[in-house]
Structure 1
Amino acid sequence: MLRLRWLGVLCGFVLASSVQAETAEQIIKQALLSMQPDLPIESISASPMPNLYQVELKGGRLLYASADGEFLLQGNLFQLHNGQATNLTEQVEQKAIATQMNMIPMDEMVVFTGPETKTHVTVFTDTDCGYCQKLHSEVAELNKLGVEVRYLAFPRQGVGSHGYTTLTSIWCADDRLDAMNQAKARRDVPKKTCKNPVDKQYALGQAVGVQGTPTIILANGKMIPGYQPAKQLAAQALKAQP
């Protein structure tokens, strides 16, 4: 009987060792993928809050999980210090979004720049969007204020829509700037097809959380949903530090 007791204790140690061999990151990943096999997990790491892990998804958005993978949180994590609240979730998400925007080759965007560029904004746009047209009418003013405008395609009605066809024609035009100007002035753009990044940019917009147009992203990754007057937008853009 004594030997059997020691054998049971030994088995317990072996089991505990195998559990410890799996890191919290592995446990959390297995738990999440068992729930949703196609969940686009980019990384899992310890969060600033003890015993809480942050799960970064493709597109930069965050989830939080307990070390055993049993509890999952979606929302903002704030740090309170000296009476001030800092949104740690927003900081991480913005940094990830800024990194993704900066990885897009300039020749895959439609870029309006001025004589003296001090910063830039990246704009997910749809040619059929009234507020996108209003924003575009102020691009020249933004350029004069030192803000470069980089357009990405985001056809709100999806692939195959009128906006999708127009955006494809713009990206395939010999002169993209002129084609964009024509489309934003509600003039017809000659239909044209070619190898283009419209689908890829549309998918990227969905991944980073774009829900409407225009969606403006500052150089530091901060997302501004909707139209902003040129002077107001320029003031925010010039303050944004990558």
Structure 2
Amino acid sequence: MIKPIAVALTLLSVSAYADVNLSAEVKAKIEAVGIDAVYAEKSPVEGIYSVFSKEGTSYVTSDGKYIFTGNLFKVKGAEVENTTDEFISKGMRSYIEKLDTITYKAPDEKYVIGVFTDITCGFCQRLHSDLQSYLDKGISIKFIAYPRAGMNSMIARNMASVWCAGDKPAALTKAMKGDGLPDKQPTKACMDSVQNQFNAGNMFKLSGTPSGLSLKGEPMVFAGLRDPDQMLNSLKTANQKK
């Protein structure tokens, strides 16, 4: 099961602050306590910034004097909203866009989801067998490589060979059907690509595949297989909240 509150991301080479420029002094103070920030923006609380890093989510005052971790809740009457979950989803989205995903685009795209997948995972294969139904419902899918046996496994090499293929979507579909793998051995670049995706999955605290999140519209996180109708309903519900 995904634990959204614990989500964090691996660094993909360079740090990038979004929406707000933290001062050099504040950045230095953040780094001094072991936080290597990759994404930051103004929090819902005036004078406090949300900071996203591979260590987790932190909050820092505008002068950098106070830094704290945990969840930031917004309370309105009887309703309680965890604003940290939404911030984490935004950070995750930002980095998934930098990954070398294999994308199947819906003709009439209404939603986009990122799905961590493994070519030997039975539920992943079931999801892939229904791929056209997801696309017909306006759900585009970006598949993210997550070899469950680890990066030293043959599964990781096989998935890297798929990510090395000239026609990646066709190669992934063929592999999911059990119809074979590309003959070409994966290059280091392809192995590195799968490694980056695998690292992101680990930071996402995956305990199984398929799992993922919405990449368009309101945040929505899911763990386990959801058929096309269930996925569509989940996405609709998430987007009706605001």
TM value normalised by structure 2: 0.71
Report the residue type matching 1:100 in the other structure: Y
In the alignment, structure 1 residue 160 sits paired with structure 2 residue 152: yes
**1:228 and 2:226 are equivalent in the alignment:** yes
1:210-221 equivalent positions in 2, closer than 5 A = 210-218=206-214, 219=216, 220-221=218-219
Q: How many equivalent residue pairs?
A: 209
Select 2:201's aligned residue among 187, 200, 205: 205
> Which blocks of at least 5 consecutive residues in structure 1 are unaligned?
1-21, 34-38
- TM-score normalised to structure 1 length: 0.71
Equivalent of 1:124 in 94, 116, 124: 116
Whether the 8 Å contact between 1:25 and 1:44 is mirrored in structure 2 is no
The 1-side partners of 2:30 and 2:150 are apart by: 31
* Counterpart Cα distance in 1 of 2:238 and 2:76: 23
Task: State the superposition RMSD in angstroms.
Answer: 3.1
- Shift in Å, 1:221: 4.6
Unmatched 5+ residue regions in structure 2? 1-22
- Secondary structure at the residue paired with 1:179? helix
- Counterpart CA distance in 1 for 2:200 and 2:152 is 17
Match for residue 75 of structure 2? 80
Aligned-partner Cα distance in 2 for 1:26–1:120: 33
1:239 CA drift (Å): 5.6
- Which amino acid in 1 is paired with 2:211? T
Label 1:157 to 1:52 Cα distance change in 2 as closer, same or farther (>3 A). Answer: same
Between structures 1 and 2, the one with greater helix share? 1
Q: Which residues of 2 match residues 1-242 of structure 1 at below 5 A?
A: 25=26, 29=30, 32-33=33-34, 39-42=35-38, 47-48=43-44, 54-58=50-54, 61-64=56-59, 72-74=68-70, 76-104=71-99, 108-192=100-184, 193-194=186-187, 195-196=189-190, 197-218=193-214, 219=216, 220-238=218-236
Per-residue CA distance 1:178-237 (angstroms, 9 max, x = gap): 221222123331342233221222223333444432122202453212211111112333
Matched-pair contact (CA < 8 Å) for 2:113–2:140: yes
1: CA distance, partners of 2:119 / 2:232: 22
AA aligned to 1:126 is D
Are the aligned partners of 1:119 and 1:238 in contact in 2 as well (CA < 8 Å)? no
What fraction of aligned residue pairs are identical, expressed as a percent?
A: 24
* 2:6 equivalent in structure 1: none
- State the structure with bigger RCO (CA 8 A, min sep 6), 1 or 2: 2
Find the aligned partners of 1:48 and 1:152 in 2 and give their Cα distance. Answer: 31
Deviation at 1:92, TM superposition (A): 1.2
The one-letter amino acid paired with 1:132 is C
Task: Report which stretch shifted further, 221-230 or 207-216.
Answer: 207-216
Q: Aligned with 1:164: secondary structure?
A: helix
